[in-house]
Amino acid sequence: MILICSIDALDVTLSSMTNPHAWLLSDLSQQKQNGITVFSTFACGGGSTMGYKLAGCSVIGANDIDPVMAHHYRLNHHPKYYYLCPVKELLSQQLPDEMYNLDILDGSPPCSSFSMSGNREKDWGKLKHFREGQSNQVLDDLFFDYLSLAEKLSPKICIAENVRGMISGNAKGYTRLIFKRFKEIGYRVQLFLVNAADCGVPQARERVFFVALRDDIVKPKLKLAPKHPWVSCEEATLDLQILTPTEIVETKFVCKTDLNWWAKTRQGEKYDDAVVRSELKGRLFSHKKLHSKRPSNTLTVRHCNFTHWIVPRKLTFREWVRLGSFPDDYKVDNPKIGKYIIGMSVPPRMMEQVAKAVISQWL
């Protein structure tokens, strides 16, 4: 059974008409097309895809290893081509001619082994298993699988997104290897640190973007420094604060941690801040109480750790959609998987700004 934010289609449409930060999947058909073609690897639920479409591009297909992600991508985007397999398998497949004439090869190789909040170096080189239906993978190899696909397809431009941890500590050595590989396959690459909040997303999410231009194309260096006014949690979700009966059940507190610490935590703080004030020692670092007048903290797959700024409750799926800059009518099997998808995704409005910069300066 497919749910659309637990409300009917009329409510979704009215909501999108009353809030300037809301939009619909159907809006994509109104975008002026620029003829630029994109193929998206590690596509998840299509956050990047929607960003390219908002910028006027045609996303001809996508790839992911997770059948749940594949289901939701197809449900919302109806791609011409879709490959449910590891990127490495595309290297030995006969692919359509369109794939060898791409303007942009997009990719977001899984990056948790480089995240500042993970095990980092302890996980490098290890096989890891993620979600049902996926094979074990060495995450730090996947970026090079993406680059091997770029070598095979030879698109004009490669755009790859990853976590900020890629440019911190020992991971800098890994990033240097990526630069070296780009050069070997015939691309000039630049690296940018971008905050989603600067792209009009009501979420402070810092990500690095590798943007590479094929050597035979002569263009000046890319300038990428979006400066959109920041959008607060309150602005983005103001029209969503009257909850449906389903949402009341969805957002109720489910653990003693929230009951103990939400009221003692100030807006914009982690529960840890309140714990330190009370117990003089830190814990509960990942639990966050959002601030009404600021963008959200970086949304993660641990959606239960995020709480409302005024009311002692979790966030609704509709709020999660807005904070991720996803369309109001994005279809999911249930709110839990929907929040997971958004926590894993590149925010569409973020990718839109990156794509527009690349298009205007290089294409």
Catalytic center residues: 111
Within 13 Å of residue 126, how many CA atoms lie on the same side as its CB?
A: 12
Distance CA 191, CA 207 (A): 10
DSSP annotation of 177:
H
* Residue 185 β-bridge partners: none
Contact 47, 321 (CB under 8 A): no
The DSSP result for 12-26, as a single string, is HHHHHHH-TT---GG
Short-list 108, 118, 91, 213, CA closest to 158 = 213
List Cα–Cα distances, 55 to 14, 32, 110, 127, 266, in angstroms: 24, 8, 24, 37, 38
Could you give the strand order of the β-sheet that contains 157-163, starting from the edge strand earlier in sequence? 81-84, 58-64, 37-41, 104-107, 157-163, 206-214, 187-195
Helices 47-54 & 348-362 angle (0-180, nearest 10): 50
Distance CA 249, CA 317 (A): 12
Short-list 363, 362, 359, CA closest to 55 = 359
CA dihedral 329, 331, 333, 338 (to 10 degrees): -80
